[in-house]
Structure 1
Amino acid sequence: MPQRKPPHRSAVEYAALGGLFCVSLALPANAAERLDIMHWWVSSGEQASIEVLRERIRAQGLKWHEQAVAGSGTARYIDALRKRVASGRPPSASQMIGFEIQEWAKAGHLESLDEAAARNQWDEVVPFGIQALSKYQGHWYAAPINVHSTNWLWINQRLLEKLGSPPAPDTWDDLVLLLERARAAGMIPLAVGWEAWEHTLLFESIAVSTGGAEFYRRAFVELDAEALPLPLAIRIFERMRVLSRFVDPGFRQRRWDQATDMVRKGEALLQVQGTWVDGEFALHGMQPGRDFQCFRFPDTQGVVLFNSDQYVLLKNGPGSQAARRTLLNTLMDPDFQAAVNRRSGAIPARVDVPKDGFDACGRRAIDDMRSANMRRTMMGSIAMGNANPPAVKTTIYSLVSRHLKGELDDLRAGQALLRALSGDP
């Protein structure tokens, strides 16, 4: 439910130094107090989004100290956070996703958010799939600010028109035909970066497309190895092999956002990636329908594979309970979630925020989320750590990336996947 905003107070200044972005933060009643925020939003589009939070916090008379660390699928980021906590310097709040929230709550590092959740009725407005990750043993430990979905195609409109403006690829065969046409026309069909989490984004969309929603839930969320017979595992990797034929050799040296730039600049036809691409495109003034198209990955219509950026409060971090309460209220405020997600390409992590001001891709994503939430086809992304625990995710990262690079054949990759889901080394 919409909440009353705290009274506005004076703004404060901040400084950005290299890869670390720092702002002094204190409550007016105590000039020495500060909140220390840690996050991994470092790309151009992500920085435009975090500025929304900076502005809201400043407007409420708070100062903060901010550290941004590139995520690498969150692995590098979590390492940096772990070092800070081990050295006795935990931040006040940290961005976190997926099962990492469960692990940090289990280890006793996080403050319970039950009081704020009950007061603001989070159980009624946060989608069920996200709640399962925000909570540990029935208690709230994280405040979700958005929903990114990963099973999307992002297609350059100008290149699509050069191919005769074919209709949206609704099936796997449609997608392969489109990629073949692009290659025949001298285009790079599929832009991909070098990191394993990106390769796993391809894998998870193919897995749903090949086996269906219920299969994905049983195999990758519930970790029921019996739900994945070896022939189906091999079939998924065969399709991965097909897509690998449309990737240019330069993928081994580029980041995900550089792959996005290839699509934006018309250097590649499409990218399979999360809705943060919409934020990158919007930063450059691009509009869906005019400059690019967003389509669900073929045969995954009705399914939302999601990543939800959440914030946790670290025990023993700087900042009073009053300051932390103000931060939580801001993060879960419907107006804030609408504002930040119109910039980021994501959508609010609440089902009650109007679609006003979102572009066509955002409005479609909101409709998809509301429908999938009710049908229980809104499921966590493997690549983004929202489907299964970190140990399983890391194993899948490795075997999927090795397969894409030609280091594993389809049979060996399928066998390794079955072992990963059954808990075998």
Structure 2
Amino acid sequence: MADHQADATVYHWWVSDGEHASIKVIQQYIEARGMHWQDRAIAGSGTARFGDVLKAAVEAGEPPMASQVIGYDIHYWASRGELVNLDDIAREQEWDEVVPYGIQTLSKYEGHWYAAPINTHSTNWLWLNGDLFRRLGGVAPDTWEDLLSMLEEARKLDIVPLAIGHEAWEHTLLFEAVAAGAGGAEFYRRAFLELDPTALDENLLLAIFQRMSQLREYLDEDFSRITWNQATRLILSGEALLQVQGSWVDGEFSYYGYIPGQDYACFRFPDTQGMFLFNSDQYMLFEQGPGDEEARREFVSTLMDVDLQRDVNVSSGAAPARVDVPGDAFNPCGRQAISDMRSTNMRRTLMGSIAMGNANPPEVKNAIYQVVSDHLYGRIDDEEAVHRLREALMNHSAGR
């Protein structure tokens, strides 16, 4: 156990109600190990806003002990030589054996562990208001045509069929589910993870953007004024039928005491069954941050503890970042997530989320953001979106 005087200064972006409850779980575990938790919560979900604050602190010579991080941002910090190498702890706790392979590719840089993953969120979910779902027949939409039919029936009830917020990452999260459903797992992997220019079939990309245009017709006219968690509250209140979002929505529902199968329903986005588009929250430790080696080891070892990963993800709605955490304590949506995570890990269809920076480096992600958000707002048409997306992906492919 670490010295009781050790400070665990932690930067993170978990600021919504459900996320705040989840960070408290981590805090309780860390403090039980004798460390003093010093919290710095910054809204931003791993985007430039959060990153700018963290960079400013590091450049000022005041890095935290640890910071939440996702995706290729880990590689950015590791390449600068700023992070603590975690190989010894990883070897001791057998991370190579229990962490899904897709997550390991992000946690590691040049073959070495630099971040500890705490969860495996997935983004290709539908979250539906339970009462409205039953009014519309109570049958999960299995195909794209099923989804459109359900959205149309919701519109006839004079409710918002599809809730979404105003930020580009939300629009890209919707896009990635549509793209995976339309093109399949091999297309998604080749086009967006491997940046293979031969995968960028114009007709398929056009079909994807045409589907996005269809969905635009079912959005709330005020979506440009709300955030993702405000969109979630529209589902909770029955003002909207469904939301396409990550499994952190399950954490929001749970925080407010809602019961899956009764108050809300969770299903895979149509035609993405058998795929798990993931976002893994991770923690990296700074070489120049506070805390001695013992405190750092205690902090990281605690994050990877089976019990912590169970409890924090029962709260957050995610699957754990370990394949060996029992699912008994999770609700039905959580148990489904764990089952899906394990099976897709075996089939290598557990693939990084574009929207959450787990598929591409930031420059590629941001280029996709711009095209997808401009298109959803109706600033560019389907054909222009295809042209701009192909150009962006091929330019970055050439740069690899």
Whether TM-score is above 0.5 comes out as yes
Spell out the pairing of 1:5-404 with structure 2 (5 A cutoff): 6=1, 27-28=3-4, 31=5, 33-72=6-45, 74-165=47-138, 167-404=139-376
Q: Percent identity?
A: 58
* 1:408 lines up with 2:380 in the alignment: yes
1:236-293: per-residue Cα shift (whole Å, max 9, x none)?
1000000000001110110100000000111100000000000000011111111111
Deviation at 1:72, TM superposition (A): 4.8
Secondary structure of the residue aligned to 1:249 is: coil
Distance, in Å, in 2 between the alignment partners of 1:36 and 1:186 is 48
Q: Does the C-alpha gap of structure 1 residues 72 and 252 become closer, same or farther in structure 2, counting only changes over 3 Å?
A: farther
Give me the whole-angstrom Cα distance separating, in 1, the residues matched to 2:274 and 2:30: 37
**Deviations, residues 362-398 of structure 1 (Å, cap 9, x unaligned):** 0011000100000000000000000011000001111
Q: Deviations over 1:191-224 (max 9, x none)?
A: 0000000000100000000100000000000011
Determine helix, strand or coil for the equivalent of 2:97. helix
Rounded Cα–Cα distance in structure 1 between residues aligned with 2:134 and 2:122: 26
Residue identity opposite 1:156 in structure 2: N
63-72 or 340-349, which deviates more: 63-72
Question: Aligned AA for 2:9?
Answer: D
**Aligned-partner residue type, residue 64 of structure 2:** P
Structure 1 gap segments, 5+ residues each: 1-5, 7-25
Q: Secondary structure at the match of 2:321?
A: coil
When normalised by structure 2's length, the TM-score is 0.97
Question: Match for 2:171: what amino acid?
Answer: H
**Alpha-carbon distance between aligned partners in 1 of 2:38 and 2:206, rounded to the nearest angstrom:** 49
Query: Contact conserved, 2:117 with 2:282, CA < 8 A, in 1?
Result: yes
> Does the aligned pair in 2 maintain the 1:27–1:63 contact within 8 Å?
no
Matches of 2:354 and 2:72 in 1, distance apart?
Answer: 10
Measure, in 2, the Cα distance between the counterparts of 1:247 and 1:304. Answer: 25
Q: AA paired with 1:378?
A: L
- TM-aligned CA deviation for residue 27 of structure 1: 2.5
Cα deviation, residue 164, structure 1: 3.0
Contact (CA 8 Å) 2:14, 2:45: kept in 1 or not? no
Q: Gapped runs of 5+ residues in structure 2? A: none
Question: In the aligned structure 2, how far is the partner of 1:269 from the partner of 1:40?
Answer: 27
Please report how far the alpha carbon of residue 109 of structure 1 lies from its aligned counterpart in structure 2 after TM superposition.
Answer: 1.2
* 1:19-54 deviation digits (Å, cap 9, x = unpaired): xxxxxxx833xx4x4221111000000000000111
Number of matched pairs? 397
| 2:43 match: secondary structure | coil
Structure 2 SS opposite 1:423? helix
The CA deviation at 1:155 is: 0.4
Partners of 1:327 and 1:159 lie apart in 2 by 44
Aligned-pair CA distance for 1:401: 0.5
Q: Give the aligned residue type for 1:100.
A: D
Distance 1:360 1:353 in 2: 15
